[in-house]
Structure 1
Amino acid sequence: MKDRLTKWRLLSVFAVLALVLSGCGEPFLSTLKPAGAVAKQQYDLMILSTIIMVLVIAVVTVIFVLAITRFRRKKGEENKIPKQVEGSHLLEIIWTVIPIILLLILAVPTVAATFEQANVKEMDKKPNKDGVRDALVVNVRANLYWWEFEYPDYKVITSQELVVPTDQKVYFNLISSDVKHSFWIPAAGGKMDTNTDNVNKFWLEFDGAKAQEANNLFYGKCAELCGPSHALMDFKVETKSQDDFKKWLSAMQSAKAASPTDTAAAQGQKLFEQNCLSCHAVSPDDARPEQARLAPNLATFGERSRVAGILDHNEEELKNWIRDPEKYKPGNKMSGTYKQLNEQELDQLAAYLMSLKVEEQ
C-alpha cells in the first residue's frame, strides 16, 4: 500500500512538472510569446477560447456537484420523487441561448481575424516603373529538406535563412517542389501548407521590440510530416530594421563573385565548381530557372548560423555534413550525388564555403 502511494505521488509530481514545462518557451520559438501582429491575434483567440472552455467546465462542474449533493438519495426518502422540471420552457431557452452566445463570442473575432489575415491584395498590385511593388513579397519554396527564399522584385535568392524587416507586413507566396510541407514561424504566426499544385498566400509582421528581445533571430519549421527528416527541416529568420533591411538588399544585389585569396579556399573553389556547381549556386541573383534550383543557394554560407539548418556553423561540422549527409538528414537529396573527397579536399572545400560572404565584402 505504501509503495502504491509513493508511485502515485511521483506520478502527480511529474504530471504537475509536465503541465508547468508545457507553458515554457523561448521568445524565438514559442507561440506563447507572440512577436508579431498575426501571432498576437492568434494568441488572443487562443486565450479567448480557453477562457470560454474553462468557464463552461466550471459551470458544468458546479451543477454536477450541486446535483449529487443536494439531490442524493437520503435515508428514509428512498421513494421520494423530486419536483419534475421536464418540458420547462425557461430551461430550454437558457441551455439553447447560452451556447449560441458563447459561439458568437468566439466566432465573430475568429472570422474577422481569418479575413484580415487572408487579405493579400497589396501583393497583387502592379509594380512601379522600377519593377518594385510597395509590398515586400517573398516567394517561399519548400524542398526535401531545405527552404528557399526569393525576393522577386529585387532578384535576390537565399536559402535556409530568411531575412525580413520589422514593423512591416511581409507577404509570402508558398509552394513546394516535391511533397507537401508546411511553413511555420511559431513566434510570428502561421502555419500554412506549401503544395506542389497551387500557391498559398499570406502575410506576417515582425514586431521590432519583440525581435530585439529575441536577438533578432527566430526559428521556423516544417509543420507537415514530409519524410524521415521532417523534424530536421528548420530554417532561421533574421529580422532587421527597415533601413538595415534595405542595406542588406542593396548588398545582396551588388554582391560580386567570390575570389578567395587564401590558397586552400582557392583550391576549394575549383573543387566546388567540379563537384557542386551543377546543383548549388553561389550568387544571390541565381539566374537559374526554378526547376534547375536543385539545392540551396550558398551565396551567404559563411554568414549563416547553422550548417544544413541543424549543425553548429564551423568547418568541422561542415566537413562532417559533406562526408555523410545521410547520417544527419536521412532521405535528403544530396546523399550519393557527388564523389567522395579526401581529407585535404574536404579542408579546401570547407575553407571556400566559409569564405562565401556578402555583407562583409
Structure 2
Amino acid sequence: MKLWKTVRRFLPLSLLAFVLAGCGETNLTALDPKGPQSQWLFDNMLLSLYIMAFVTIVVFAIFFIILAKFRRNPGDDEIPKQVHGSTALEITWTVIPIILLTILAVPTITGTFMLADKEPDPEVGENTVSIKVTGHQFWWQFDYEKEGFTAGNDVYIPVGEKVIFELHAQDVQHSFWVPALGGKVDTIPGITNHLWLEADEPGVFKGKCAELCGSAHALMDFKVIALERDEYDAWVEGMTAEVPEPTETLAQQGRAVFEENSCIGCHATGGMGTAAGPALSNFGNRTTIANYLEHTPENLEAWIRDPKGLKQGAVMPAYPAMSDEDMEALIAYLESLTID
C-alpha cells in the first residue's frame, strides 16, 4: 500500500515532466530532420523502433498464448511434452535475431561511411564551405579561414551544400550538436575532429553544447543560419568588407568608448578574430546576447555591467561603473554593426 501511495503521489509530476519534455525551442529536436545527415539518423531510429516493436509484440503474443493454452488446471498431473534440445527451435531463435541484426546492420554500415565522408562536394568543388569551429567556455568561435573572417556564436551556411566543420576546443571538452541537421561530435583540446552538415532549406537551426563543460554549460548555445547561395555570398562579402565609420554622432561616440575600454582587444569587428571573445562584426543582426538573452538594449546593458551575474563562469570583465552616457553611446555603436 505504501508503494502504491508513493506512485500515486509522483505519477502526476512524472506525466507533467513527460509532457513538458516535448515543449522546447524550435528546431532543437532530432525528430524534425532538415538535412540528409539528420534524415538518415531519423530513418535509422525509426527502423530500430519498428524492429523493437515487432519483437515485443511477437514475444508478448507467444507469452500470452502459452499462458492461456498451457495453464495448469486443478487435478491435472500430466507433464507437458518436453522440447529441450529441439534442433528446430534452436535454429529458429538463432536465425531470427541474425536476420533482424542484418536488417539493422546494412543501413548502419552504409550510413556510417556516408557520415564519415568529409570530401568536398564535387558539384561545388573549390567553393565548398569549410569552417573551423573552436569551443570555449562558454561560447563558439567560427573561423572562415579561406574567406578571412571570424564569426561568433552564429554560423552561416549555404543551403543544399555540404559544409565541412573542423572541430577544436580551447579549454575543456565540448560537443558540437545541431539536432535538426545532424549528430553530435566532440571538440577535444589537442585533437581535431571533423563533421559535415547540410541544410535542405533556409532557416535558423538551434545548436547546443552536448557535453557538460562547466557552470554555464546549459547556456552554451549557438545558431546555424542557412541561406540561399546568393544571400550567403552577400553575407560573406559584408563580413569581409571594411567596417564603415558610424554615421550617427551617438554611435561615433560609442566607438570611442569601445576602443577606450579595450573592448577591441577581445572582440574583433572585422576580419579574423581572436580566442579572447566572440567577433562582433554583425552583432546588430543577432537575435540573442551571450547566446541566450533576448537582444534588447536593456539586456545588453545588463550584460556589459555584470556578465558573470547573467552567465556564471563568463570571463568577460564587468563594467558596473560605466556612466549612463557612455553606456548609451556604446550600445548605439554595437547596434550599428550590421550586415545588410
Q: Which residue of 2 aligns with 1:174?
A: 167
Q: Which residue of 2 aligns with 1:259?
A: 245
Give the Cα–Cα distance (whole angstroms) in 2 for the partners of residues 25 and 278 of structure 1: 36
The one-letter code of the counterpart of 1:244 is E
Q: Which residue of 2 aligns with 1:137?
A: 130
Paired residues in the alignment total 336
Give the Cα–Cα distance (whole angstroms) in 1 for the partners of residues 325 and 256 of structure 2: 13
Instruction: Tell me the secondary structure at the aligned position of residue 193 of structure 1.
Output: strand
Paired-residue identity, %: 43
Give the Cα–Cα distance (whole angstroms) in 1 for the partners of residues 21 and 50 of structure 2: 18
- Which residue among 232, 244, 248 is the counterpart of 1:245? 232
Structure 1 contact 159–297 (Cα < 8 Å) conserved:
yes
After superposition, the C-alpha distances for 1:111-163 in whole angstroms (9 at most, x for unaligned) are: 1101111011228x9xx9xxx92321111111111111122211121111111
Gaps of 5+ in 1: none
Gaps of 5+ in 2: none
Q: Which residue of 2 aligns with 1:319?
A: 301
CA RMSD of aligned residues (A): 2.5
- Which residue among 274, 278, 283 is the counterpart of 2:260? 274
Q: Which residue of 2 aligns with 1:334?
A: 316
Seen in structure 2, the aligned counterparts of structure 1 residues 250 and 105 have a Cα distance that, compared at 3 Å, is same
Would you say 1:354 and 2:335 are equivalent positions? yes
Give the Cα–Cα distance (whole angstroms) in 1 for the partners of residues 15 and 312 of structure 2: 36
Would you say 1:225 and 2:206 are equivalent positions? no
Would you say 1:206 and 2:203 are equivalent positions? no
Give the Cα–Cα distance (whole angstroms) in 2 for the partners of residues 87 and 310 of structure 1: 63
Instruction: Tell me the secondary structure at the aligned position of residue 268 of structure 2.
Output: coil
Would you say 1:49 and 2:64 are equivalent positions? no
Runs of 4 or more off by more than 6 Å in structure 1?
Answer: 10-14
The one-letter code of the counterpart of 2:293 is L
Structure 1 contact 166–206 (Cα < 8 Å) conserved:
yes
> TM-score w.r.t. structure 1 length?
0.86
Q: Which residue of 1 aligns with 2:78?
A: 80
Give the Cα–Cα distance (whole angstroms) in 1 for the partners of residues 41 and 53 of structure 2: 18
Give the Cα–Cα distance (whole angstroms) in 1 for the partners of residues 44 and 242 of structure 2: 47
Structure 1 contact 301–354 (Cα < 8 Å) conserved:
yes
After superposition, the C-alpha distances for 1:3-57 in whole angstroms (9 at most, x for unaligned) are: x79x84x866766666566566665222111000000000000000111111111
> TM-score w.r.t. structure 2 length?
0.91
Q: Comparing 243-252 with 155-164, which one deviates more in the overlay?
A: 243-252
Structure 2 contact 239–282 (Cα < 8 Å) conserved:
no
Seen in structure 2, the aligned counterparts of structure 1 residues 340 and 180 have a Cα distance that, compared at 3 Å, is farther
Q: Which residue of 2 aligns with 1:116?
A: 114
Give the Cα–Cα distance (whole angstroms) in 2 for the partners of residues 198 and 31 of structure 1: 27
Give the Cα–Cα distance (whole angstroms) in 2 for the partners of residues 266 and 106 of structure 1: 62
The one-letter code of the counterpart of 2:266 is C
Q: Which residue of 1 aligns with 2:63?
A: 64
Structure 1 contact 133–153 (Cα < 8 Å) conserved:
no
